[in-house]
């Protein structure tokens, strides 16, 4: 941190909050609110004469609440910048600090929050994680029994700069505990709290146990675990070393911790799996290895930066394998535990990667984007005629469309990722997507259904998931009937209802629309835009008179090849079960209504031309 | 030594197909259920974790013939603590149901009806918290008769039916009225208890 503070190209804005983010990759504008410290940063030299004079004591957040701090304070001794802050929620304004500060005259009670707009090229989110609050697991007694503590509390007690100056004591009587138990997976790998494995707790617990054993060789240390996970380089060797030092490892998750009120000692109950028996261990101190959980304000950060969150609540990366540092919003990068629980080496690696990814943008004069962006035909957009609409802007997951009444909707190409949601949602067919124009897709549709359409299953697939799923079915040798005809678009959001109408008008036997599961969507909320539309569309198709089994919606991930094959199998079977004559009769019956609904399709530029081509006939 | 290839890998699917058995394979053997269990305090042999593991492996005979599947009292203390949210008492009900279908005799405590004296008043059906008792038509001593019948797979042997039966026609296999009275009389009388 000190190095960062001294670097000529790094500016640290501490005690500040990002309020708004506007713009796009390479051209962000960020509104930062600097909170008042009530101490002038340019005058305070961090001498610390003020704090001892302050009469107010409150729990110290950095020391996990086990030591006090004053109302005028620095978070910890290595704070950067070394400038004191007055915590106005607790200050009684006795002005003793002002007297102590003397000639420096750094204290200013009149400070107000200040807001600044910054122009930045890229953004790195490194907001870290929170520690799970174990008091919700009542049977472990955290909060009820003083000698049940969390790992972070132990870290402070064990730290030479901590409240006990590194002397290990237990909270109830200040004595050095001889028998210690560590409990793993507190709040993680548990369906009641967090299903995921926090990953680094095994290693830090072994580290703490080894450190303890080194300073107190007689200590009796037990680690209760479900599985020890030490997959990193040299990690397993470290685990072996802990075993060789005489640390006891018991496989079994404690079901209950009871306190002996006379001694304050704790009785840990668990099944020792190797023994196949329930055991009880008396410990003087129990340390809970709590789960890493997303920061409490992750929701707010997610809204401000337009960064979506994974099922566990951490920020979602663009691609888990290929782009693990990028967020779904271009120019915003993720580093460290904000993206998912990770240990120090992994956080450093991701931080370095994020910095270099961000630097690429800063050093570029031009930035290449995918060419599949949306484009507005200004003469067709009714907003240009002064009418109210703006549907496209509400459907865009990236806020890439600006609608001003009296002007045509404007797409910021650098922000557009090409999901095509706006294109399919525009009620006036005024938007198109480059390389996925209506004319191109309709031409494909006609080619696919050129021969014996009533024997075909037309499958709309999204590029990322269901197309991958179909591909996976092929590479994994899951056979599916040859009646399927696939049509790839980027996202289920692009699958216009007119395409489905057109497919049925041409007489398609079955239509499948498929895309990502909602949490996997590669366009933040594109899948939801599609899903809402298909729900309504299913009812509309029924109103038209199309049998409900002829239209199906399925969410299939790229790993679900077997599901893709299964769905096609089921649809094929259903199709073959239908009477061909009845199907033809149904098709001719619904055709006039479909034609009525599709009458505006030909107005779209080059669609009429595509229809005239009669490809493949 | 066990030869695992001789196990029945379909057994877990059979269990999971029954309502209540769905979560069987989620067990990652942490032992929380065992450490929480009330039953194992009176019977150290009892181990729900091991039964579930045997079911996952497909040791069908072991599971279905085990006395342990009849012993769960459905206090559900383990369910509240299980990190994988497995409803173990429901799972054991599935084991018992399959055992009964396949002709294994209940080896644990259960309620039983004396059909000769039962008057089919239906009180036991009403009081049973587990819906384990029902009234059925049966031939008893050559006559058609309505009597109550206990489904051993569902019975938790709580004894409510036995205590409420007006004609003393139900008792528990492990705790008949006679054995309970004997034990009561064998206990030291209040005045004999040292203070």
Mean pLDDT of B107-129: 91
CB–CB contact B40 A278 (8 Å)? yes
The ipTM, to two decimals, is: 0.77
pLDDT value of residue A603: 85
Whether residues B91 and B8 fall in one domain? yes
Whether residues B135 and B66 fall in one domain? no
- Label the pairing between strands A27-34 and A114-120: antiparallel
User: Sorting pLDDT into bands at 50, 70 and 90, what band is A613?
Assistant: low
CB–CB contact B83 A190 (8 Å)? yes
Domain boundary among B40, B66, B101: B101
Mean pLDDT for chain B overall: 90
Is the pLDDT at B190 greater than 70? The verdict is no
Count of domains for chain B: 2
Higher pLDDT, residue A16 or B193: A16
pLDDT value of residue A614: 55
pLDDT tens for A414-455 read 999 999 999 999 999 999 999 999 999 999 999 999 999 999
Domain boundary among A434, A457, A473: A434
Mean pLDDT of A327-338: 94
Is the pLDDT at B191 greater than 80? The verdict is no
pLDDT above 70 covers a percentage of chain B that reads: 96
Whether residues B14 and B83 fall in one domain? yes
Q: Which two tokens stand for residue B1?
A: 């030594």
Whether residues B16 and B45 fall in one domain? yes
Domain boundary among A108, A125, A142: A125
Nearest to A189 among B29, B33, B83 (CB): B83
Residue A104 lies in a domain: yes
Residue A347 lies in a domain: no
From A156-160, A219-223, A245-249, B191-195, the region with the lowest mean pLDDT: B191-195
CATH of the domain at B46: 1.10.1060
Q: Which of A423, A419, A595, A395 has its CA nearest to residue A496?
A: A423
From A76-90, A405-419, B96-110, B114-128, the region with the lowest mean pLDDT: B96-110
Q: What is the DSSP string of A235-290?
A: HHHHHHHHHHTT-EEEES---EEEE-TTT--EEEEEEETTTTEEEEEEESEEEEEE
From A305-319, A404-418, B34-48, B179-193, the region with the lowest mean pLDDT: B179-193
From A106-110, A572-576, B106-110, the region with the lowest mean pLDDT: B106-110
In chain B, positions 11-40, which contact chain A (CB-CB < 8 Å)? 28-36, 40
Whether residues B166 and B91 fall in one domain? no
pLDDT value of residue B77: 93
Domain boundary among B73, B101, B129: B101
Assign B38 to helix, strand or coil: coil
Whether residues A174 and A243 fall in one domain? yes
* CB contacts, 8 Å: B31 with chain A: 251-253, 255, 270-273
Whether residues B61 and B137 fall in one domain? no
pLDDT tens for A76-102 read 988 999 999 999 999 999 999 999 999
Range of the domain at A485: 436-613
Whether residues B121 and B159 fall in one domain? yes
Whether residues A42 and A159 fall in one domain? no
Residue pair B156/B74 in contact by the 8 Å Cβ criterion: yes
CB–CB contact A256 B35 (8 Å)? yes
CATH of the domain at A395: 3.30.70.20
pLDDT tens for A470-514 read 999 999 999 999 999 999 999 999 999 999 999 999 999 999 999
* CB contacts, 8 Å: B47 with chain A: 271, 276
pLDDT value of residue A130: 97
Whether residues A429 and A442 fall in one domain? no
How many A×B Cβ pairs under 8 Å?
A: 52
Q: Which of B28, B29, B30, B86 to mutate to test the interface with A (most CBs of A within 10 A)?
A: B30
Q: What is the DSSP string of B143-154?
A: EEEEEEEE-TTT
Whether residues A607 and A542 fall in one domain? yes
pLDDT tens for A539-567 read 999 999 999 999 999 999 999 999 999 99
User: Sorting pLDDT into bands at 50, 70 and 90, what band is B178?
Assistant: confident
User: Sorting pLDDT into bands at 50, 70 and 90, what band is B4?
Assistant: confident
Q: Which of A225, A270, A271, A276 to mutate to test the interface with B (most CBs of B within 10 A)?
A: A271
* CB contacts, 8 Å: B36 with chain A: 255-256
Q: Measured between CB atoms, does B47 come within 8 Å of chain A?
A: yes
Whether residues A468 and A591 fall in one domain? yes
Whether residues A515 and A424 fall in one domain? no
Helix axes A497-505, A526-544, angle to 10 degrees: 40
Range of the domain at B146: 111-184
pLDDT value of residue A615: 46
Q: Measured between CB atoms, does B4 come within 8 Å of chain A?
A: no
Whether residues A135 and A266 fall in one domain? yes
CB–CB contact A273 B29 (8 Å)? yes
Whether residues A587 and A533 fall in one domain? yes
Burial (Cβ within 10 Å: 0-12, 13-18, ≥19) of residue A212: buried
Q: What's the DSSP call for residue A175?
A: P
User: Sorting pLDDT into bands at 50, 70 and 90, what band is A209?
Assistant: very high
Whether residues A441 and A382 fall in one domain? no
CB–CB contact A271 B34 (8 Å)? yes
Whether residues B16 and B92 fall in one domain? yes
pLDDT value of residue A617: 37
CATH of the domain at B146: 3.30.70.20
Distance CA A569, CA A487 (A): 18
Whether residues A176 and A283 fall in one domain? yes
Domain boundary among B101, B123, B138: B101
Chain B closest CA to A270's CA: distance in Å? 5
Q: Cis check for the bond before A81: say yes or no (omega within 30 of 0).
A: yes
C-alpha distances out from residue A342 to A64, A166, A235, A354, Å: 21, 26, 14, 15
Count of domains for chain A: 4
User: Sorting pLDDT into bands at 50, 70 and 90, what band is A243?
Assistant: very high
């Amino acid at each position: 941190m000190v190095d960062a503070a001294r670097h000529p190209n790094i500016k640290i804005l501490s005690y500040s909050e990002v309020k708004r983010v506007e713009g796009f990759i390479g051209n962000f504008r960020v509104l930062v609110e600097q909170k008042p410290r009530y101490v002038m940063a340019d005058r305070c030299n961090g001498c610390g004469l003020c704090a001892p004079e302050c009469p107010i004591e409150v729990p110290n957040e950095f020391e996990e609440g086990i030591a006090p701090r004053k109302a005028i304070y620095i978070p910890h001794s290595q704070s950067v910048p070394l400038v004191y802050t007055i915590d106005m929620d607790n200050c009684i304004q006795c002005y003793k600090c002002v007297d102590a500060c003397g000639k420096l005259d750094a204290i200013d009670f009149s400070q107000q929050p200040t807001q600044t707009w910054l122009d930045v090229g890229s953004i790195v989110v490194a907001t870290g994680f929170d520690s799970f609050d174990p008091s919700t697991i009542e049977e472990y007694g955290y909060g009820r029994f003083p000698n049940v503590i969390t790992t972070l509390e132990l870290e402070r007690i064990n730290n030479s700069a901590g409240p006990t100056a590194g002397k290990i004591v237990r909270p109830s009587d200040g004595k050095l505990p001889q028998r210690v138990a560590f409990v793993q997976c507190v709040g993680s790998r548990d369906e009641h709290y967090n299903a995921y494995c926090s990953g680094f707790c095994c290693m830090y617990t072994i580290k703490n146990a080894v450190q303890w054993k080194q300073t107190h060789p007689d200590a009796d240390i037990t680690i209760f675990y479900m599985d020890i996970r030490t997959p990193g380089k040299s990690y397993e060797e470290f685990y072996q070393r802990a075993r060789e030092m005489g640390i006891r490892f018991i496989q079994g998750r404690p079901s209950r911790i009871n306190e002996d009120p006379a001694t304050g000692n704790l009785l840990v109950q668990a099944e020792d799996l190797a023994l196949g028996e329930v055991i009880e261990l008396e410990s003087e101190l129990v340390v809970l290895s709590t789960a890493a959980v997303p920061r409490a304000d992750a929701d707010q950060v997610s809204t401000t930066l337009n960064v979506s969150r994974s099922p566990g609540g951490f920020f979602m990366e663009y691609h888990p394998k290929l782009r693990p540092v990028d967020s779904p919003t271009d120019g915003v990068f993720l580093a460290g535990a904000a993206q998912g629980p990770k240990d120090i080496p992994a956080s450093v690696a991701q931080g370095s990667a994020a910095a270099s990814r961000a630097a690429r943008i800063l050093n570029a004069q031009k930035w290449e984007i995918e060419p599949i962006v949306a484009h507005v035909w200004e003469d067709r957009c009714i907003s240009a005629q002064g009418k109210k609409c703006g549907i496209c802007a509400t459907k865009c997951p990236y806020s890439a469309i600006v609608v001003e009444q009296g002007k045509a909707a404007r797409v910021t190409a650098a922000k557009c990722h090409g999901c095509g949601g706006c294109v399919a949602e525009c009620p006036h067919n005024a938007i198109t997507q480059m390389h996925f124009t209506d004319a191109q897709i309709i031409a494909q549709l006609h080619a696919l259904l050129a021969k014996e359409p009533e024997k075909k299953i037309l499958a709309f697939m999204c590029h990322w998931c269901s197309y991958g799923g179909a591909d996976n079915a092929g590479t994994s040798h899951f056979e599916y009937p040859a009646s399927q005809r696939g049509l790839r678009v980027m996202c289920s959001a692009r699958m216009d209802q007119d395409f489905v109408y057109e497919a049925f008008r041409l007489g398609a036997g079955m239509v499948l629309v498929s895309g990502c599961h909602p949490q996997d969507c590669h366009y933040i909320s594109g899948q939801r835009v599609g899903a809402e539309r298909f729900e309504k569309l299913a009812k509309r198709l029924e109103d038209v008179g199309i049998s409900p089994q002829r239209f199906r919606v399925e969410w299939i991930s790229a790993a679900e090849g077997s599901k893709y094959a299964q769905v096609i199998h089921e649809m094929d079977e259903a199709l073959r079960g239908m009477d061909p004559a009845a199907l033809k009769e149904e098709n001719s019956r619904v055709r006039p209504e479909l034609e009525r609904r599709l009458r505006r399709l030909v107005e779209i530029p080059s669609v009429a031309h595509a229809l005239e081509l009669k490809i493949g006939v | 030594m066990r030869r695992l290839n001789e196990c029945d890998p379909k057994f877990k699917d059979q269990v999971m197909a029954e309502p209540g058995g769905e979560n069987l394979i989620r067990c990652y053997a942490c032992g929380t259920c065992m450490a929480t269990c009330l039953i194992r305090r009176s019977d150290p042999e009892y181990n729900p974790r091991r039964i579930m593991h045997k079911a996952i492996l497909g040791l069908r005979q072991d599971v279905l013939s085990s006395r342990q599947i009849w012993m769960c009292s459905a206090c559900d203390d383990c369910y509240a603590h299980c990190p994988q949210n497995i409803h173990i008492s429901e799972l054991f009900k599935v084991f018992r149901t399959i055992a009964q279908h396949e002709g294994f005799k209940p080896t644990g405590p259960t309620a039983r009806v004396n059909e000769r004296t039962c008057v089919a008043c239906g009180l036991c059906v009403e009081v049973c918290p587990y819906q384990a008792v029902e009234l059925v038509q049966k031939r008893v001593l050559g006559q058609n008769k309505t009597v109550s019948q206990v489904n051993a797979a569902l019975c938790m042997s709580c004894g409510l039916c036995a205590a409420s039966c007006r004609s003393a026609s139900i008792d528990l296999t492990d705790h008949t009225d006679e054995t309970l009275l004997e034990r009561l009389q064998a206990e030291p009388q209040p005045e004999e208890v040292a203070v």
